[in-house]
Every structure is written in C-alpha cells, then in structure tokens.
Structure 1
Amino acid sequence: MFMDIKQLKYFLTIVEEGQITSAAKRLNMAQPPLSQQLKNLEDELGVKLIERGPRHIELTDAGNILKDRAEQILELSDSTINEINDFKKGFKGKLSIGTVSSSGSVLLNDKISDFRKNYPGVKFEIHEGNTFKILELLNRGIIEVGIVRTPFNSSKFHCKYAEAEPMIAVISKNYYFKTKNSYITIEELKEKPLIIYRRFEQLIHETCLEQGFEPEIFCKNDDARTTLLWANAGLGIGIIPKSAFGLGGNDNLIYKEINNDKLITKVSAIWIKDKYISSMAQKFIEYFGENK
C-alpha cells in the first residue's frame, strides 16, 4: 500500500468542495482522472471513503479518519518545507506582522532594537488596523504575528504579553480638575465628555456603572491617535492606554492615571495555535514582551 501527498491533496479537495466535479475544476483537471485517483486510493486502503449522493458526497467513517490524518500530514509536510527553506536562507527575508495603533511605544522598545541588531537581514512588512482586522489577517495567513491589546478572545492563539499598564485620562492643559495628583479616580470622570477607543467601550461602561454612574461618551473611534487629536483640541477627555500617549499630537495635553484595577491593559504578541511560524517569527517573539 502506498499513498502519496498528491493523492491526499486530491482527496481533501473533494471533501472541501463536496463534489468531484467542483474539485476537478479547482484542481484544473478533468473529472474522470480525479475519480480514478479516488478509486485508486480506496483500492489501496481497501475501504470506501466517500458515498456519492445526488448533489454532494458524504464521508464514510473511514473517510473521516483519513480526512483528519491527511490534514495533519499535509500541515507537517508544509511545515517541513518551510523549515528547510528557513534553514537555507538563514535569518533573512520578510517578516509580516500586524499591529494596532496603540502598540507603538511597546513594540518599538529596546528589545526589538536588539532583535534588529542581531538579525540585520530581516525586513519588516507592517499591517496596521484594529484588533478585529489583525485577527482576520492572522486567520487568512497574511501575517505571522499580531500585536494586539487586551481584552481579546485568546482561545485560538498563543500569547506573549508585555507588561501591564494603566489607562490614562488625556486632558487639555486648560481643563479643570479639582485634584492636583498625578492620578484620578473613575468617579471624577462622571458627567465629563469622554473620547474613547471603541474596543474599550464595554470595559469603560461597566467600570463606570459599578461606581454608580453612566459614562458620557462624546466620541468613539478606532484609533488612539484620533483620541489624542480630539483631546488635544479640547473637545473632551480621552481615555487611552498609558503607552499610547506619545503616538499623536499632544503639545496641549497632560494625562492622569486612572486609579482603577479594572482599567488595566496589556499588549500581546499572538500567533495561531498548531500552525507553522517561521524561525524569524519565533525569534521575534522571543524578543517581545516580558521575560518569563
């Protein structure tokens, strides 16, 4: 008995398409040779893999077993080829990562500078967007590593976190606050026009409700830099992660840390579980975040 990679690819394409005709079109081949390949595979294994229905094929129990194993075998095959290519190239080539706007000062720290010094042959391709876009780019395989900020659903990903940081209230210098302290409580934001990053809306809303008031959301947006610009114009109080303060125009701004245990966030490097990532990406992750 002998199965080759091509047979497994043909079989999985049939399963994915649900029809031999559609699978043949996708594979750019005629239907009879593909049907013959399936028959040869069934003959070699001595079992029926597929039941042909009037519109769609149905997998037998043996077919389901082969489907699971074939996916694993092809993933291992692709990973092996990629690892060999990495070995041949050395640490050279392009590393595609995705970042949210508020990760800037966390990403561009001394550790990443050290990575650049140690691996000068690595070039970067950066894709920017909100967290949902970064997760989509990861799932589509366009980027290898995403740099996102909590909270997010981490169930599908490996994560390496940077140090936790507080949220801050970003305020125009002429904005009046009773306290002279470097921090404020969440209650001091009551009845104040707030400018917030949309992803933090639920967290901010729930935290304010716990303190007995409904926040006055003046502006929601998808970029920390927009929050800074609007706050800098004196239009309201921006709420952003502390490390994002230096991202935009802030010549007219001061900030105060919000003293609340729930308004804490972390930047995280994430990559998909059980999926190959290049040696470059692995090294990049080693240099990211807290040492553990």
Structure 2
Amino acid sequence: MELDIRVLKYFLAVAKVGNITQAARDLHITQPTLSRQLMDLEKNLGTELFVRKHKQLTLSDSGFLFQQRAKEIVQLADKACRELSEQKSQMHGTVTIACVESIASCLLPEIMAAFSQNYPYVKYELYSADGNDIREKIDRGNIDLGILLEPVEVAKYNFLRLPCYEKWGVAMREDSPLARKDVITTEDIQGLPIIIPRRTIVIEEISRWLEVAENRLNIVASHNLPTNGLLLAKKGIGYLICVEGSFTIRPMTDLCFRPFLPERTTGHVLVWKKNHVLSKATMRFLEFVRDKYEKPLY
C-alpha cells in the first residue's frame, strides 16, 4: 500500500482541529474533496481513524497510532526536501560562457537570472566574441559553453538549439537611399561597398545569397564584432550586413536596419566540447537550459 504525503497532511490537519469544514478551509480545498480523501485513506488502511459524532471528529485508537506515524513520515519527508533544497542553494562554482552579439545577448541574462534564483551562489564569467573566437576558446578549454549564431560547424561539439532566431539584413545610415526601402533585395546591394563578419562560413553564405563570387564582393571591411561594423557604417564607409539583433541590442542614432527579401533567417546553438569534463555547476546549468526549453541535448 502506498501512502501519499499530501493525504497524510490532510489527515493531520483534520486530527488537529477535529472538524472537516475547518480543516478544508485551512488546507484551501473543498470539503467534499477532503472527506473523500479521508474515506479513501481509511479504506486503504482497513480501519476507522476517526469517531464521528455531531460533525466533530475525534481520533480512534487506530487514529492515535496512525497520527504518531503520520507525523514522523511527514516530518521526515519535509526534512528530506529541505536538505535537498539547501544542497541546491549551496551549490558553488563558476559557469564560463561566451556569447555572440545578437538577440541571444538578451536571452542569456534571462536564463542566468532564472538559474540564479535556484542557485544563488553560482558565479559567471562572460565573454563577448564572434563564432571563431568562441570556438577557439572552447577548444583550448578557456571557456566551457558558447552561444553561436548559425551556420556552425558542430561536428566536434555537443549542442543544444536555443529558441531565438534572427533576420539577416543591412544596417546603414538613415540618409542612405536604401533606407527609404522596407526591405533590401540582392539587386539593391550588389556592387555597393559592404562590411561583413570575418567568418569564412558566413562570407560563403553571403556570397551565395547575393549570387556573387566571393572574390567579386565589394568588401571594404570585415569585423569580429558588429559593434565595430556599426561604427564604420555610421561613418558611411559601407553597408553592414548583419543580423537584426546585433543592431537592436545597441541602437545607434543616424542608423537603421532593413531585412533582406527574400527573408534570410538563422538560429542559435549552445555548444560545449565533446568528451570534456564539465563542472557540477556547468552541468546543472546545461540541465536547466535543457529543461527550460524542453529540447534534447546532443
């Protein structure tokens, strides 16, 4: 026979006040529900726990014995929960994580804030970098986790997809002729001076989108962080091809963003090195992210 801790607490509440109606109010449940739970408990135990008389309930001999054991069981269960909670709250350690400059820069603090509510003693080391730098730091063991913007070569990493997606487009001066458009087509941007991320895999993607060979792209500058690219665009040096989030997380006056048409979207992945031992705090952080977004870890 299985005993439900919740039902044991119901029984103890009724035993304390000797009245179903009052106990139901104290427990914030309905009187019929409480009566049914007590009757089921007595049926499962094969004995009456209460002597019922004039709407008052007093413990029977079996009830007195069961009350003592029920208190012990509930107290033990509460103690176990409290110890687990204390163990959880006392977890220490440092999670080292790098993040690209994108909308993920807004998602990461939300994740950390929620995680810190459960694990307030865990600390963080944060880095901002592009995908190349992040992967190098993970490979060298300088950081444990990295949030990358796709496309990503993930063959040597474990990864978890994050529920944030970006639109690619162009950041430019508000007085640019293209700024009058709501969307930017490949024909609009062809031949114009462009500022792009330095990552080879991204350059290949941009070349494919624009239907122009890489060596024929009019690249006036490349960057590892969009912050630098935005400053160049503000000076009118070129048109910055970037994701919308890299612009919106640090809006600059005199600049605007226009998405590509047809739409070009990309996602984010949280990666960590395969066959690499992670700290307990980092593993718990990964489990938290996995559970929060209900995505499998690969």
What TM bracket, shorter-length normalisation?
0.5 to 0.7
The 3 A distance-change label for structure 1 pair 189 and 90 is: same
Q: 1:291 to 1:241 in 2, by over 3 A?
A: farther
Aligned equivalents of 1:226, 1:245: Cα separation in 2 = 11
Q: Could you tell me how far apart the structure 1 residues matched to 2:180 and 2:255 are? A: 16
Q: Hey, what does 1:24 align to over in structure 2?
A: none
Aligned equivalent of 1:174: 175
CA distance 1:88–1:209, change in 2 (3 Å) = closer
Q: Deviations over 1:232-277 (max 9, x none)?
A: 222221111111113446111111111235x432222101223322
- 178 and 98 in structure 1: CA distance in 2 versus 1, 3 angstrom threshold: closer
Percent identity, please. 25
Larger Rg: 2
Q: Could you tell me how far apart the structure 1 residues matched to 2:251 and 2:167 are? A: 20
In structure 1, the residue matched to 2:210 is: 208
For structure 2, the 5+ residue unaligned runs are 1-86
Query: C-alpha distance in 2, partners of 1:125/1:178?
Result: 38
Q: CA RMSD in A?
A: 2.8
Q: How does 1:1-292 map to 2 (within 5 A)?
A: 90-102=90-102, 105-162=105-162, 163-177=164-178, 180-181=181-182, 183-199=183-199, 200-209=202-211, 214-248=216-250, 250-260=252-262, 263-285=264-286, 286-287=288-289, 290-292=293-295
Aligned AA for 1:138?
A: I
Rounded to whole Å, the distance in 2 between the matches of 1:138 and 1:180 is 41
What is the rounded CA distance, in whole Å, between the counterparts of 2:115 and 2:137 in structure 1? 23
The amino acid of 1:269's aligned partner reads L
Measured against aligned partners, the alpha-carbon deviations of 1:130-185 in whole angstroms (never above 9, x if no partner) come to 3222222212222111122222210111111222221121111101128542x222
Residue 123 of structure 1 aligns to a residue whose secondary structure is strand
Aligned in 2, Cα 1:178/1:229: closer, same or farther, shift over 3 Å?
closer
- Relative distance call for 1:90 and 1:254 in structure 2 (3 A) is same
C-alpha distance 105-178 of structure 1, shift in aligned 2 (>3 A): closer
Please give the alpha-carbon distance, in whole angstroms, between the structure 2 residues aligned to 1:127 and 1:189. Answer: 32
Query: For the residues of structure 1 that align with 2:293 and 2:196, how far apart are their CA atoms?
Result: 27
Match of 1:71 in 2: none
- C-alpha distance in 2 between matches for 1:253 and 1:147: 26
Following the alignment from structure 1 to structure 2, what is the Cα–Cα distance between the partners of residues 176 and 281? 48
Deviations 1:173-228 (A, max 9, x none): 101128542x22222111221111111222111221269x9532221111111111
Distance of 1:90 and 1:156 partners within structure 2: 33
For 1:94, what is the secondary structure of its paired residue? strand
SS in 1 for 2:177: coil
Q: Partner letter of residue 244 of structure 2?
A: K
- What is the CA–CA distance in structure 1 between the aligned matches of 2:241 and 2:166, rounded to whole Å? 13
Q: Distance in 1 between matches of 2:279 and 2:261?
A: 41
Task: Please report the TM-score for the alignment, with normalisation by the length of structure 1.
Answer: 0.61
Q: What TM-score does the superposition give when structure 2 sets the normalisation length?
A: 0.60
SS in 2 for 1:168: strand
4+ runs of 1 displaced by more than 6 Å? none
